[in-house]
Amino acid sequence: MDKNKSYNKILDVRELAKSIKMMVVDAPEVAAYAKAGQFVILISDEEGERIPLTIGDFDAKKGTITLVFQEVGKSTIELGTKKAGDSIAHLNGPLGHASDIKNYGTVVVIGGGVGIAPIFPITRALHEAGNHMISIIGSKSKEFLFWSEKMKPLSHEFYITTDDGTLGIKGFVTTPFVEFLKDKKIDRVVAIGPIPMMKSVTKVTKENNIPCIVSLNSLMVCGMGMCGACRCKVDNQSRFTCFQGPEFDGNTVDFVELSSRLSMYNQEEKLALDSYKEKK
């Protein structure tokens, strides 16, 4: 490795929405192999923790990947302080299985909150494969919504929902989705977002016997299936999100267990954030 070269250099940083940031990173080796649905694990600085982030976009020719994250805890807030010209200490990827892309027919893609970022490259790949794309993106309110300008051109039908009705349809992402089922044949659904959102979507797909793929945001440390932190239950069997996922058949995911595992370290995360704020 050339010690004089700056690796994982941040080329651009933007605030896409309230507390949501986008980083374009110079990572040619990752960009060369990245596919829709995959993720990276990064360490912001040498003393930081490992953060899994789904790849929101990638450009093999430019050698760049785009990462989108919400500043919610110490590590993501700290990552958000970096600026263009800074570097990320360590970046490992692409990891996980890529999305299964082919012409299914009519596909509904649903992105909620920060899940809009990982749903974008999947939508693009499915569009290029010849599917009829129905896209739904949603957030709490318009101030948290982003990338509608990237999603709309890839969609034959495009819908925005906000919980408070400040933009698009008032309600959850399932509001227009349930309406589609009255007069449309849906061949496949891909949903990425908060656990309650994915759980609600899969309740509908299960009742209507529609295949549904979700990308799980489980706890993750090693990214190789050795630590067991990312364990989840799918079809009543233990699975490891990092190397057997991150995408699974949503109709068979135990979201109750997944939610419980995600909250295991809430107290420790709060202490870390409080300590970080005190030092600032």
pLDDT mean over 47-70: 93
Q: How far is CA 164 from the centre of its chain?
A: 23
Of 215, 231, 264, the one marking the end of a domain is 215
Of 95, 130, 161, the one marking the end of a domain is 95
Q: Helix, strand, coil shares of the chain as percentages rounded to 5?
A: 30, 30, 35
Are residues 193 and 104 part of one domain?
yes
pLDDT attached to residue 274 = 61
Are residues 180 and 120 part of one domain?
yes
Are residues 224 and 118 part of one domain?
no
- 1 belongs to a structural domain: no
Query: Which residues, in sequence order, are CB contacts of 200 under 8 Å at separation 6+?
Result: 172, 173, 174
Are residues 115 and 50 part of one domain?
no
Are residues 118 and 80 part of one domain?
no
Structure confidence by residue, pLDDT tens digits, 8-24: 999 999 999 989 999 99
Are residues 111 and 66 part of one domain?
no
- 18 belongs to a structural domain: yes
Domain with 88 in it: what CATH number?
2.40.30.10
pLDDT attached to residue 2 = 44
The answer, yes or no, to whether residue 262 has pLDDT greater than 80, is no
Q: Is the pTM of this model over 0.85?
A: yes
Are residues 211 and 103 part of one domain?
yes
- 133 belongs to a structural domain: yes
- Cα separation, 69 vs 204, whole angstroms: 28
pLDDT mean over 202-222: 90
Q: How confident is the model at residue 202 (pLDDT cuts 50, 70, 90)?
A: very high
pLDDT attached to residue 222 = 78
- 2 belongs to a structural domain: no
DSSP secondary-structure letter at 262? H
Structure confidence by residue, pLDDT tens digits, 143-156: 999 999 999 999 99
Of 61, 77, 95, the one marking the end of a domain is 95
Query: Which residues, in sequence order, are CB contacts of 179 under 8 Å at separation 6+?
Result: none
Are residues 238 and 143 part of one domain?
no
- 4 belongs to a structural domain: no
Are residues 76 and 26 part of one domain?
yes
- Cα separation, 247 vs 119, whole angstroms: 12
- 236 belongs to a structural domain: yes
- Cα separation, 194 vs 114, whole angstroms: 8
Are residues 206 and 105 part of one domain?
yes
Are residues 210 and 104 part of one domain?
yes
- Cα separation, 162 vs 136, whole angstroms: 11
pLDDT attached to residue 271 = 72
Instruction: Please state the domain count of the chain.
Output: 3
- 209 belongs to a structural domain: yes
Q: How confident is the model at residue 210 (pLDDT cuts 50, 70, 90)?
A: very high
Domain with 105 in it: what CATH number?
3.40.50.80
- 239 belongs to a structural domain: yes
The answer, yes or no, to whether residue 73 has pLDDT greater than 80, is yes
Are residues 82 and 106 part of one domain?
no
Give the E-state strand segments of 182-230 in sequence order. 188-192, 212-215
89 near 43, Cβ under 8 Å? Answer: yes
Domain of residue 196 covers 99-215
pLDDT attached to residue 47 = 80
